[in-house]
Amino acid sequence: MQLDFQKSGGLVPAIIQDERTGDVLMLGFMNASALSETQRTGEVVFFSRSRNKLWKKGESSGHVLKVREVRVDCDSDALLVRVEPIGPGVCHEGYRSCFFRSMDGDGNAAVIAERVFDPEKIYGAGKSR
Amino acid sequence: MQLDFQKSGGLVPAIIQDERTGDVLMLGFMNASALSETQRTGEVVFFSRSRNKLWKKGESSGHVLKVREVRVDCDSDALLVRVEPIGPGVCHEGYRSCFFRSMDGDGNAAVIAERVFDPEKIYGAGKSR
């Protein structure tokens, strides 16, 4: 099958879901090369829009995402990657999920999760995620 | 808080998750206006990139998505909308989730879900989703 990479400028959004708990952990983007590397290695590789290059999740922290299943949506323009996350959390701010804040109807955000690791110790200064 | 709508050209990806089951149902995009309408009405409104206008999910099918919680990620550039879906499914192809296909390492997709409604009866010809 062909994915539609054109709608988002050569990228598809990739939702990362913990296969065991069903929790949504993060959202990244993949280009064709990132998807190919993800499939080849069995660990999630994104395309970083801010750094404009491939970004293996966990390359410095060791918090890699082991791919258990890749699902594709009806329009072939979004991926759902079901993973086994290695390590305590995926978020560079020290949370298990990047979606650690809840937003109310007025746009105010509140933290709803516990920090599970100290990001300074894992990432330090200047390290990638 | 301010969402970062700039990274995706005025849009943020919005993951739709069934609050009760944890299943990821679909991914859409919202601009500031779509998010505002979603919050005001308590039902999910996307921005349709193909039609270039606001798109209330379920506007013709009745399969609306009742918003139970909106979460925002660490970079404030993605939303996780936890919903109660009304109706048998969200996908215009008749499935409960748009992610009804699994893709193997060679890029071959296989349907992994049961069809739960007849899309012709719900959407007919030319109706929006």
Q: Supply the pLDDT for residue A126.
A: 55
pTM above 0.90, yes or no: yes
- The tens digit of pLDDT for each residue in A51-76 reads 999 999 999 889 999 999 999 999 99
Whole-number average pLDDT of chain A: 94
For residue A10, give the DSSP letter.
S
Three-state SS at A3: coil
Measured between CA atoms, the residue of chain A closest to residue B36 is: A105
Q: Is B93 on the interface with A (CB under 8 A)?
A: yes
Answer whether B83's CB lies under 8 Å from B97's CB: no
Q: Which residues of A touch B112 (CB under 8 A)?
A: 71
Q: Which of B27, B71, B78 sits opposite A102 (nearest CB)?
A: B71
Residues of A in contact with B28 (CB under 8 A): none
Spans of chain B, pLDDT less than 50: none
Q: Which of B28, B71, B15 is nearest to A7 (CA)?
A: B28
Q: What is the pLDDT of residue B19?
A: 98
Whether residue B95 and residue A74 make contact (CB cut-off 8 A), yes or no, is: yes
Residue of A nearest to B108 (CA): A1
Half-sphere exposure of B104 (CA within 13 A, CB side): 6
Tell which wins on pLDDT, A119 or A125. Answer: A119
Q: A98–B74: do the CB atoms touch at under 8 Å?
A: yes
